[in-house]
Every structure is written in C-alpha cells, then in structure tokens.
Structure 1
Amino acid sequence: MWAPLFLSLLVTLNYGHSAKILGVFPLSARSHYILGSSLMKALANRGHDVTVVSPFSEKHPPKNGTYRDIILTGFAEEHDKKIKQLNMFGKRKMHPTIMVPLMSHFMVAMAEDTLNHTNVQKLIHSDETFDVVIVEEFMNQAHKAFATHFKSHLIVLSTMGANVWVNDLVGNPTPLAYVPDFILGYFNLMTFCERVINTIHYTVKQIVDHAYVRPKQDQLIKKYFPNGPNVEDVMYNVSLVLVNSHQSTNFPVPYVPQMVDIGGYHVQPPKKLPKDLQEYLDNAKNGVIYFSLGSNMKSYLMPEEKRQAIINAFAKLKEDVLWKWEEDELPGKPTNVRIAKWLPQQDILAHPNVKLFITHAGLLSTIETIYHGMPVLAIPIGGDQTLNAEQIASQGFGLALSFHDLNEELLSEKINQLLGSSTYRDNAKVRSQIFHDRLMSPIDTAMYWIEYVIRHGGTRHLRVAALDLPWYQYFLLDVIAVLGIAGAVILYLTCKIAKKVCRVCSRQKKQKLKRQ
C-alpha cells in the first residue's frame, strides 16, 4: 500500500520544479475528453502549469498548479448534431476496410478545423513556451507539429490499446498473425480467413495513410505553422507513447521501450452517491442491473423495435433496472425501471447491490467494470466495441450480444445466464485483481514517465533502431533478395555439377559395358 505513495513522493522530490505542459485533445466525444482531462488534471495537481486545447471546459479544475482551457468553441455542438444525424443504431454495418478512406477524410478535416480555430491560432502565434506537448493520437499527425513549433518534447496519448497509428511512431512491431486491427473485432487467435482480411485491412490502411493522409497533414502543417516542418520529421519525433491499455483489459502485444501501459488511469476511487440514488440502490431487495450505452450512443435514438425488446425483457426481471436514458420520458417504462439523463457510472458500479452492467462495451466502460469486478453483458454497436466485447466474453466475465441481433428472447436469455451463474462474477473478481496488482497506480505510472521525459531531456536512449531503417531493410527484403539470389545460384551450380557428374558416370558405364 505504501510503496506507490513512497515512489510517487520520491519522483516529486527528484523532479523539483514545475513544467509547462500543453495538452491537445481535439475530439468532441466526451469519453475522449475524460481521458485527456484526467491526465492533465493529475499533472496540475503535481504542481505543473497545464494548458488544455479541447472542445470542453473543465468544470472542476484542480486546486494545485495551474490549469487553463483553450476551448474549441462550436466543436461539441457540431458533434452532437452529427451524432443525431448519423444515428449509429440505424446504420447498416459497413465493413471496416471500406470505412478507412472515409474515416481518413473525416480526421483530416478535424485536424484542419482545430488548427484553423481562432483560439488555436492565437496560441500558435503567441510567444508562449512549453516543455512538453501531449497529443491524443487519432490520425492527426499535423497536431504533433505543436511540439516542433514550441521546441518541446512530444508525448502521444493513445486512448485505446496499441494500434498501427501509434506503433509506426516508435517502431513498434505489428505482427499481423496475432494482432488484429482494433476495428475488425477479431480475437487474437484468428482463423485463416481472418488473417487474410487483417492483412488486407492493414495494407489498405498503409496505402491510404501514405498516399492521402500524410500528404494532407503535411499541407496543414505548412499552412498553419510558421516555417512548418515536414510531417515525417514531426511524426518520428515522439519521446513517449502512453497507451490506455493493460493486460487485464487487452490482449498482450509487443511493446518497445517508448510505449507504456497506463490503462485505467482515469478511474477514481468511489465517491458518495447522491442521496436519492444511494437510497434507491440500498433499498433494492433483489439487486440492480445498470444499463448505459455511454456518452456518444444516445439510447433514445435506437429503433423502436429494439427499444421495445429491451423494455419487454426488463419488465420480466425481479431485479430493478437503472437505465441511462437521455429524454424526460421512456414510453412504456416498466415499474422496475428507473431512468436518468446522467448517472455517476463509476460510483454506481462500486455499489454492492449492483449485480450486472449492460454496456455498449466502450473502452472506458470496459475498464471501469474490470476495476470494480462487475460481470457484463456487452452490446457492441461500432468502433472498437466489438473487439472489447470479444475480449470480455473470452475472459469469462461476461457475454456479448450484437445490437443487430438483439431481441427480447436473446436479451432475456443472456441476462438470466449471467445472473444465474456465479462463474461470471468470480471471473470478474479475478480480472479485477489482475488490474489492481501493479507496482504503481496507472496515473502514478503516467506521471512518472511524463516527468521522466522532462528530467532526461527526451528519450533518445529508448528509441529503437527500426525508426532509422528504410522499409526494405526493416522487412529484410534486401537480405531475402541476396539470400534468394545466392540460393538460386547455388541450386543452379549444383544442378549443373550434378548433370555433369551424371554424364561422366553414364559414359564410364557405357565404356565398361563395351569392354564386357
């Protein structure tokens, strides 16, 4: 118990002065902001001078250090409009490989909207200085130029597990045989067909990245930064990659020294619940099922037949159901269901009367349920949620049910299976123990490594040689070519010699027969 506190104190004493740190978190999804602000608030609490570029303002800024918002005004409002227009519930599932060009175009536009924003332009053309720039990775290479512009060390935050976007930055390998792309939703032990699709998907991503995304991002750097550097120089100037991952939440994958797991750093110790909610949970004689589809997926937008199937399944339960529902009324709401537009999810999951969490399997929700050792029914809808649901099911602390397959009978069957067996809760507790079994807490780990970058003036000593190799050397194509040519020459000479020997032997045999 005292070891993490001692190490944290030791790091603080060794560090000794406040650093100026800029965080760039441009995505308008609330879940992404939670991850960015959790990191930056922790840095401010350690006495650092923190500036955050994001679409949101911090309602509860830290009391220590300095915390300043540079708000991307209009981003959040535009995002909410797009969420309603897009309505992921009603969309036909598009293959992830087809989505790659569309997503790439969207992220290039987001990168430019950020750099073109009045508040960001004021920052770029100010005389401010920073020691470190932390940028959320989401196909936004141009934003890494903040570090070059301010002559700062660059740290990248991956809000999901290790993936090709961050692997390339620090020369981390991506073995396609057992590391599926996060958006495909495959298990790490893939079938032959899945490995073929994974390889094709990776190849398409690389082609789109090199042929479209990087040139576009390079143009943005030149357009919005004075004396803007080349995108390649910006990308491969990363001192550290912080990965929102852990062996308790993600499949094990290779890491180079510049990559550090901090999965679960946003999770806070349980706080006291509001009085009415505390009484509701305390008085639930048969326990409570908590149902939430996260901050981006709005429950009220789901098709009526799906909503009715969920209502019918809940109505048959003896347990109470707490449902995050964004409207004032839920048509046909059963008597055992309570709705609320917002709920303190982490604190609810910590309550002993909560028996089951029904979730969309977003990464933050998945991490939080593992932290609290709660069994899960995962209903993935898009993005990395399918992969998260697959991992939940494979690790035995929950079940998965595709939203497109959801009906009253299947939902009831899955809920009853989870509530009727202690195995899922037991496995959830085991998974939670793995999550908590660390030398340092994830947020202390993040603080240590960020301050490590500052103390040592970067991490050049951790950089692997892969970043300095041409692609054909990295994949040993020159070695394979030479060995292939050498092998072919040896085989050719061997065949020639063998033929010559055979002719000599045949001639000698004929001469011998003639003498007889």
Structure 2
Amino acid sequence: MKTVNFIIFLQVICLGNTYKILVVFPVPSPSHFILGSALARGLVNAGHDVTIVSPYKDKKPTENGKYSSIVLEELADIRNTLRKSNLFEVSESNPFKTAPFMDTLGNVVTNITLESINSKKSNILKEEFDLVILEYFRNDALMVLACHYKTPLVLFGTMGANLWVNSLVGSPSPPSYTPDLHLGYTDNMDFWQRLMNVLMYSMKKLREKFVFLPFQYELAKKHFPHCVGEEGPLSNVSLLLLNSHESVNNPVPFVPNMINIGGFHINPQKELPGDLKEYIDNAEEGVVYFSLGSNVKPSEMSNETKKALLNALGKIKQKVLWNWDEEFLPGKADNIRISKWFPQQDILAHPNVKLFITHGGLLSTIETIYHGVPILALPIFGDQKMNAARAVAGGYALSLPITKITEDNISDALNQLLNDPKYRDNAKKRSALIHDRQVKPMDLAIYWIEYVIRNKGAPHLKVASLNLTWYQYLLLDIISVVLIIGISLMFVSYLLLKRLCLSRKSDKKIKSN
C-alpha cells in the first residue's frame, strides 16, 4: 500500500496539481451514493483532495489519498421514511402525479441539506475548494454552493440527458423524440405517445417556472442571500457529467459541456466468495440472478405475484440467486438460493449467468450491458419503465409490469430469454459497444473535471441559448414580427385593391352616363 501511495504522489508531482474538490450527493438512495462515492474515489486515486457530502458513511474509504466524508444523518431519516412505504403500490401510479411528488421530495432534501451544511456542527462552509461537484436531482438551490466557494460548478446527472438537466446547459430536448423519463417510452413514439409526451413536457415546464423554481429560490435566498440576485440563485454550470452511454441511452443532441461517463462506477471483476463461486461454477444449466435493487423490499410484493414468481422460477433448469430482504422465503424451490446481499457486478461477470431479472434501474442496466447478460425487466417506478422499454427495443430484454405478473407470462418470458439465443447475442453486441471507447469513463470524467478547473470554468464551452429568454429561444419574437408585417401588408394590399376596384366601378358608371 505504501508503494501505491508513493506512486500516486510521484504522479501528482510530475503530471499535475492536486485540487481540493467538494462532492455533494444528497439523494437518500444507496444507488446514488454508489455513483457519488465511485466518482470521489476516482478523483482521490488521481491525486486530488476530496470531501464528499451525502446521507451515507463510506464503509470502505479509499486509502490511496485524502478522502473525507461528511454524513448528513437527517437525510438518512428521509431514507428510512421512504423505506416504510410499499413501492409496489405506486408502480401503476399516474405519471402526471409523479412529477409533483419528485419536486416535493427535491424541496425537502434540498432544505435539509442546506440546513445541515449551515448548522453550527458543520465547519465545511469555512473551508476552501477549487471545484464543487453536485448531483442534480431537483435541488437547484444547492448550486449556490459554487457561488459561496467562488468555484466552477460541475453537475452530475444520474439518469442521462433529460428535461431536468438539459435546460441547465442549454441543450435541446425535442419532445418529438426525447421521451419524458416517467412515461416509459422510447425515442420512437407514435402519435398518442408524442401527444402525452408534449403534455408532460408542458406541465413540467409550467410547474417548474411558477412553483418549483420560486421555492428553490427562496431556499437559496434564506441560506445564501449573498449568492441570490433578482433572477434567482447564481448558478453557472461549467460541466454536466451524465451517467449514460450510447449503448444504453437513446442518441440525443449534446452541447459541448455535456459528457457521457456511464459505466464509470463498474469495478474490475473480483473473485466470488468460495461457496457462491462453487454454487455458480457447478450450475450445469447456468444461473438466473434476480434483484429488484436497493430501494425495494421484495417481501412486500403481493402474495399472488410472489407465488407466480416462485412457481415459474421453480420450474426452470437453471439455479436462481434471489436478492431477498428476509431470512426465509416460504415456498421456494430447491433451485432457488436467497440472500440479503449479493456481489452483483461480480455475479453478472460470471460466464455461467444466463439472465438478470431486474427492476430496470439504470445502474443495474448499465452493469448487465457491460457484462452482456440479457434482461427480464419488472419495472416499478421512476425511470425504470423507460429503461426497460429501451432494453426491449434493443432486443436484449423482455419486460412485464410488476402488477400484471402471472405464472404463465413469467414462464413464457423465462423460456424465451433462456432458450432463444438472439437475446444473449444482442446483449453481447451492446456489451461490445460499451467497451469500445477511446478512454475509460472514469479517466474521461477526471480529465474534464481537471479541464474545467484549469480553464477557470471553461466558459468557452457554453452555448448562447443560456442567454436567451424562452420566447427568444423559440424565435417567437421573430415569428410575431414577421406575422405582424405579413398581416399588415396583406391588409394594406386589401385596402389598395378595394380602393382600386371602387375607382374602376366609378369610372364605368361615369362613362355609361
């Protein structure tokens, strides 16, 4: 370990500067913390001094450099409250109600984060930083941290390019082929889907302008009045890092300061624990891995759904690893093994794993594409339906609504995915795409973060649309002037023609008389 630290020290001295970076990932969800801690660790391994603010304590902090962690315990309380709700019950909720809920959640998390940072217990505001990296998740008021520290601001988008983050860097979001993340559409939408997408887009934009942003403005003004002007919080986004990649997400327009780094959190494959390795190695027909992520309690699914899954999985030849949140699973067949935790990335990397039954979370989707494993998606909430729809369109997945599961449709889906080689072939093609990159995604993230610091916020990367009002951006002022001139010319022409016709009629009458 001393040798590794010495090598890193030499790299810092010879190749560049050590920067002090603040990383703020406030969302009370383990999957979000996985991304934040992975980015922080990568920056530390590159020789930088990193402080991460989040609701979680890193159980295995890196020893390769200076890595500090500030735990916002109040946000962990929100996590515990959310865990008490049954997410299976909201899986079929109206997406037009989901957007207001996400705004409300964002307001609560933002307020608690600002109060915690400003509390007497915290000395973080007295420190100095070279850069602020903020996970953006409906928390615009937190952008004032960059103003407070007088540093450039890097945003991190956990779900790829979408309506939430695109406007912050001036990137277009055409609703004709950019689906809203709550609707579960792909980029190939029919008429009615495009209509719903436009309605959702319009509703979110109006709510953002008249409800959400004013509230965020007040939060920022309350805690950092010196960083709030007449137009709202002083936000000046230098770079937007996105947890996405062309192999996973739909191709969409990017402005120069948007960078895809999807897959940066994936670690080199480690050897599985002895008993688990033996279990998978000895599976002659292969293994099906089943996990619904870190936010869902699988034990809370309905008895009918549970019975259908147990019966269908019990009939297949493959062994099953099921990430289950309790000690026992009554009614499970002999081929099913349960555990409260499995090393997911290392399991998916094993060649004997034939299928991943997943909720369709973006991290799980990226990991299964990275390792070339087909998907049976059982989406529940958030962006999972959209991720599942993209996977089905990509030919490496099938998807079933979690509330519509029966033994027959699960069995049919399992038989197709396990016996038709096209799904695994398409998954392998996607895997080849995510590996076919000029540089590793973590190296790309570190380069651009350092680039922004070196170039004082890189203002030359920002597009001019950020300086336009909404009506200027849509050219409504130009269209209005053109319409007014056109209508005026038509009206004047009409009057001239009318007068000309009347004069001719008068001439005819005079001649006839």
Separation in 2 of the partners of 1:279 and 1:508? 108
Contact in 2 for aligned 1:18/1:48 (Cα 8 Å): yes
Equivalent position amino acid for 2:50 in 1: V
Number of the residue aligned with 2:200: 201
Aligned counterpart, 2:181:
182
User: Residue type of the partner of 1:23?
Assistant: V
Q: Is the 8 A contact 1:236 1:467 kept in 2?
A: no
Q: Is the 8 Å Cα contact of residues 299 and 326 (structure 1) preserved in structure 2? A: yes
Paired residue secondary structure (2:228): coil
Q: Which residue number corresponds to residue 34 of structure 1?
A: 34
Report if the CA contact (8 A) 1:15-1:455 is conserved: no
Displacement of 1:91: 3.3
Matching of residues 249-398 of structure 1 within 5 Å: 249-398=248-397
Residue 22 of structure 1: SS of its match in structure 2?
strand
C-alpha contact 2:360 2:384 (8 A) present in aligned 1:
yes
Taking the TM superposition and a 5 Å limit, the aligned residue runs for 1:415-454 are: 415-454=414-453
| 1-structure distance, mates of 2:119, 2:262 | 29
**How far off its partner does 1:142 sit?**
1.4
CA apart distance, 1:224? 2.2
Bigger mean CA deviation after superposition, 117-126 or 501-510: 501-510
Deviations 1:312-347 (A, max 9, x none): 001111111110011110011100100011001110
Summarize deviations over 1:362-401 as a string: whole Å, max 9, x none: 0000000110111111110110000000000001011111
3-state DSSP of counterpart to 2:105: helix
CA 112–231 in structure 1, closer or farther in 2 if over 3 Å, else same: farther
Q: Would the alpha carbon gap of residues 126 and 490 (structure 1) be closer, same or farther in structure 2, given more than 3 Å must change? A: closer
Structure 2: which amino acid aligns with 1:46?
A: A
The answer to whether the Cα contact below 8 Å between 1:25 and 1:136 also exists between their aligned partners in 2 is yes
Q: CA deviation at 1:303?
A: 1.1
When residues 490 and 316 of structure 1 are mapped into structure 2, their CA distance, relative to the original with a 3 A threshold, is same
**What is the CA distance between 1:167 and its match in structure 2?**
1.1
Q: Give, in angstroms, the shift of residue 504 of structure 1.
A: 6.9
- Work out whether residues 162 and 243 of structure 1, in 8 Å CA contact, stay in contact via their aligned partners in 2: yes
Contact 2:102 2:138 in 1 (8 A): no
Q: Distance in 2 between matches of 1:346 and 1:235?
A: 40
The answer to whether the aligner puts 1:66 opposite 2:63 as a matched pair is: no
Unaligned runs of at least 5 residues, structure 2: 1-7
- Shift of residue 501, structure 1, vs aligned partner: 5.7
Using the alignment, how far apart are the partners of 1:126 and 1:60 within structure 2? 26
Q: How big is the shift at 1:63?
A: 2.2
| 8 Å contact from structure 2 (residues 116, 122) kept in 1 | no
Matches of 1:207 and 1:235, distance apart in 2? 21
- Cα pair distance change 1:118/1:261, threshold 3 Å: closer
Indicate if the aligned counterparts of 1:169 and 1:235 stay in contact, CA closer than 8 A. no
Q: Map of 1:493-504 to 2, 5 A cutoff?
A: 493-499=492-498
Over residues 61-96 of structure 1, what are the superposed CA-to-partner deviations in whole Å (9 max), with x where a residue is unaligned? 222221000001243354134222x21113362211
Unmatched tracts of structure 1, length 5 or more:
1-7
Cα distance 1:120–1:369, how it changes in 2: closer, same or farther (>3 A)?
farther
Kindly tell me: are residues 12 and 366 of structure 1, through their superposed partners in 2, closer, same or farther at Cα, counting changes over 3 Å?
farther
For residue 168 of structure 2, what is the amino acid of its counterpart?
L
**1:112-148 alpha-carbon deviations (Å, 9 max, x no partner):** 1112126865446642100000000011111111111
Where does 1:97-246 land on structure 2 (aligned, <5 Å)?
97-117=96-116, 122-123=121-122, 126-225=125-224, 227-230=226-229, 232=231, 234=233, 236-246=235-245
Report the Cα offset of residue 98 of structure 1: 2.1
- Alpha-carbon contact 1:217-1:231 (below 8 Å) kept: no
Native 8 Å contact 2:24 2:135 kept in 1: yes
8 A Cα contact 2:169 2:466, kept in partner:
yes
Contact 2:227 2:233 in 1 (8 A): no
Q: Is the contact between residue 286 and residue 318 of structure 2 (CA under 8 Å) also seen in structure 1?
A: yes
Distance 2:135 2:229 in 1: 19
> Counterpart of 1:491 in structure 2: which amino acid?
M
Q: In structure 1, how many angstroms separate the alpha carbons of the residues matched to 2:103 and 2:372?
A: 36
Q: Letter of the aligned partner of 1:278 in structure 2?
A: K
- Whether the 8 Å contact between 2:118 and 2:223 is mirrored in structure 1 is no
Q: For residues 231 and 499 of structure 1, do their structure 2 counterparts lie closer, same or farther at Cα, with a shift above 3 Å needed?
A: closer
Q: Rate the CA distance shift 1:125–1:343 in 2: closer, same or farther, 3 A.
A: closer
Give the whole-Å Cα distance in 2 for the aligned partners of 1:49 and 1:82: 33
Counterparts of 2:12 and 2:504 in 1: how far apart (Å)? 83
Instruction: State the secondary structure of the residue aligned to 2:226.
Output: coil
CA-atom RMSD in angstroms: 2.3
Could you list the structure 1 runs, at least 4 aligned residues long, displaced by more than 3 angstroms after superposition: 11-15, 118-126, 230-236, 493-512
Aligned 8 A contact 1:26 1:55 in 2: yes
Q: Aligned pair in 2 of structure 1 residues 498, 289: CA closer, same or farther (>3 Å)?
A: same
Matched residue SS, 2:409: helix
> Post-superposition shift, 1:52?
0.5
